[in-house]
Amino acid sequence: MDHAPDQRIGDGDRALALDRLGQYFADGYLDVAEFETRTGDAAVARTRGEIEALFDDLPEQSATSSDVVAAGPAPDMRAQRELDEVMERSRKIQRLDGIIWAVVLITFFASIFIVNVPFSWVVFPLGAFASWGMRSVLKVDDADEELFAELNKKESEQRAERLRKAAERRRELGQ
């Protein structure tokens, strides 16, 4: 199918453009004024060229763009790299904790109900030891975990607010 810039578009194309703009807004690529302008233009666009022009200066969307933690401008690149390393180690901790405690619970219940092993409770201290050991190996301390939790909470709140504004704008445009 030919995608000529002067090709007419329908409501589905406009809705798709609004969704894409909402994602860019939620990811922080557009400020409120730009978002309102572009969504207004998308809602009244008649051709493919008009829609494509809305995205010319925006990067390609990726699956990981919303996973990036917005820490603000960082003049000191070393500090930014260190923050990135702390965030990555903290994400690993979260994933590994989930795995460890899932295995502990499965083992505990299986040993009680299936195998009928006495002293099944011993898997809980082993799970705690595994979690502690993992934190030691990855060199994540309490301050790192608090920072990770604080940044995640802040990013979640900012993203939720951007999404609320995007949804509100979409309702205003009647989409």
Convert the pLDDT of each residue in 134-152 to its tens digit.
Answer: 888 988 888 888 988 898 8
| pLDDT tens digit sequence for 22-79 | 888 888 888 888 888 898 888 889 999 999 999 999 988 764 444 444 444 435 677 7
Does residue 81 share a domain with residue 35? no
Domain-located, residue 157: no
Distance CA 128, CA 124 (A): 6
| pLDDT tens digit sequence for 40-50 | 888 889 999 99
Distance CA 146, CA 152 (A): 10
Does residue 129 share a domain with residue 89? yes
Distance CA 15, CA 77 (A): 39
Domain-located, residue 147: no
Angle (CA) 157 162 166, round 5°: 145
Domain-located, residue 105: yes
**pLDDT band for position 175 (50/70/90)?**
low
Predicted local distance difference test score (pLDDT) of residue 97: 93
Does residue 82 share a domain with residue 47? no
Does residue 117 share a domain with residue 62? no
For the full predicted model, state whether its pTM sits above 0.75: no
Does residue 112 share a domain with residue 61? no
Range of the domain at 124: 77-140
Q: Which two tokens stand for residue 113?
A: 């109900």
Predicted local distance difference test score (pLDDT) of residue 2: 52
Helix (H) or strand (E) holding 43: helix 32-44
Does residue 95 share a domain with residue 134? yes
Domain-located, residue 21: yes
When divided into structural domains, the chain yields a total of 2
